[in-house]
Structure 1
Amino acid sequence: MLPRTRKVDTVAIIPARGGSKRLPGKNLLPIGGKPLIEWTIDAALNSNVLDLIVVSSDDEAILALASRKGVRVVTRPAELARDDSPTSEALLHALKELECEHIFPQTVMLLQPSSPLRASDDIVKSLAVMVEEKCNSVISVCEVDHSPLWCNTLDESKCMDSFISTDIKNKRSQDLPVFYRLNGAIYIATTEIYKKEKSFFVENSRAYIMSRARSVDIDTADDLRFAEFVMQRFG
């Protein structure tokens, strides 16, 4: 008898290496009373729009925490958990492991644990964009703190004569166009296209705009402290 194939609409994959060069043990560091990765797991669980949540890690403590939370775990090989290992390799490995269990998701969502302030509501709304816009991918962004039009490079002389273009010099900041940046919180794509392109940056893609307050990306100890401040300040 052939194994039963299980098709699911959306799988969320949370890649969480045990190592971190700039912030050792980052994914298990405490923030707001619980390990960093737990914020992302809880947001995914509480969204109630995901058919399957998977944590991919090479770290036994992270895998054990994920198992206690009731989500599926995938043990990532050491060669896919180096400092220079692309996140795409972890996602493709997790998808392949699911296929070995005859699980074939239609849509894949990447939720990085370094974005603890991403809310369940953001997961729900970003997935809604994917459905309503009938697009191939959705990527979260937020408004930049300062317009890049006020930025430039400097040579050794540090001369500022042409630092800002003439048509920008006398404009107020509120009169400049709004720029957005990637915030690393949410990436969604159809599984078929992601496996083919190995990227979320594909044709027919849309942005999901998040607030700057929810867009803190944990990379350093200062980021961790700032995120905790935002949690305490805004709840």
Structure 2
Amino acid sequence: MLALIPARGGSKGLPGKNIKLLNGKPLIAYTIEAALNSPYISKVVVSTDDIDIYEIGLKYGAESTFLRPKKLAEDNSMAIDNYKYTLTRLKTEFGYDIEKFIVLQPTSPLRTVRDIDGAISLFNEKNADSVVSYCEEHHPISWHKYMKSNGGIEDIFDDGLKNRQEYKPSIFPNGAIYVFKYSLINSGRYYSDNSYAYIMSRKTSVDIDTIDDFEYAEFLMEKAR
């Protein structure tokens, strides 16, 4: 299976985060190494517009391919458009046979090989169209509110107050793992009636977007040592 690691150069929350050193190693390296250690994955491709990210990807074992256009690496660019572009070029120019693939975000450095293998195993077992990693939400989603411009509170859900134990548990996507059939992505969708959730722990679900996230991931890694 092909592993696709999308890593654009621009980042507003934490500039240069994809190659920022985390415990002495570029952030993206953790995802590349985890992918290469999975028996299900045969090739790893870093999809980026940034030459520094690209070269670091090669250093840690990613395939030599191409840079994506800047228009597919902007704040308002759609990830699915990049997947379709990258997969099309890999199929037509590099001869890749892609019926299914996995997307691994580099901002999830605590995601384990066991998680990757578990998600792919679930995908194969169910003959799924997609499997997406999720984390259990500890608070009922109906507790969430909108904040008005004047600081007031506005309801999102029409729901009376209950004890937390009375609510049905919910999950949220953690951004770590996406396993897809190529045909699903080519149709412009992430989900179908044959999509499934792979549940990860809160610690392995850390998604780095800000310096606080980065420092928390660093703390957890150091503690694990």
**Normalised TM-score (structure 2):** 0.89
Q: 2:90 aligns with which of 94, 98, 120?
A: 98
C-alpha RMSD of the superposition:
2.2
Map 1:111-130 → 2, pairs under 5 A: 111-130=104-123
> Structure 1 residues 151 and 83, CA, compared in 2 at 3 Å: closer, same or farther?
closer
> Structure 1 residues 204 and 233, CA, compared in 2 at 3 Å: closer, same or farther?
same
Secondary structure at the counterpart of residue 117 of structure 1: coil
Aligned equivalent of 1:25: 16
**2:52 aligned with 1:61, yes or no?**
yes
Structure 1 residue 204 displacement after superposition: 0.8
**More deviation, 12-21/79-88:** 79-88
Structure 1 residue 28 displacement after superposition: 0.7
Structure 1 residue 88 displacement after superposition: 1.4
Amino acid at match of 2:77: S
Map 1:74-93 → 2, pairs under 5 A: 74-93=66-85
1:148-182: CA deviation from partner (whole Å, max 9, x where unpaired): 2333346669589xx9944x43x2x3443211101
Runs of 5+ unmatched residues, structure 2: none
Aligned equivalent of 1:226: 216
Number of equivalences: 221
Paired residues of 2:129 and 2:191 also in contact (CA < 8 A): no
Runs of 5+ unmatched residues, structure 1: 1-9
Paired residues of 2:131 and 2:179 also in contact (CA < 8 A): yes
**C-alpha distance in 2, partners of 1:159/1:146?**
18
**C-alpha distance in 2, partners of 1:194/1:164?**
34
Aligned equivalent of 1:208: 198
Aligned equivalent of 2:27: 36
Secondary structure at the counterpart of residue 131 of structure 1: helix
Amino acid at match of 2:102: M
Map 1:130-149 → 2, pairs under 5 A: 130-149=123-142
Q: 1:177 aligns with which of 164, 168, 179?
A: 168
> Structure 1 residues 165 and 81, CA, compared in 2 at 3 Å: closer, same or farther?
closer
Paired residues of 1:150 and 1:164 also in contact (CA < 8 A): no
Percent of matched pairs sharing the same residue = 39
**C-alpha distance in 2, partners of 1:153/1:90?**
32
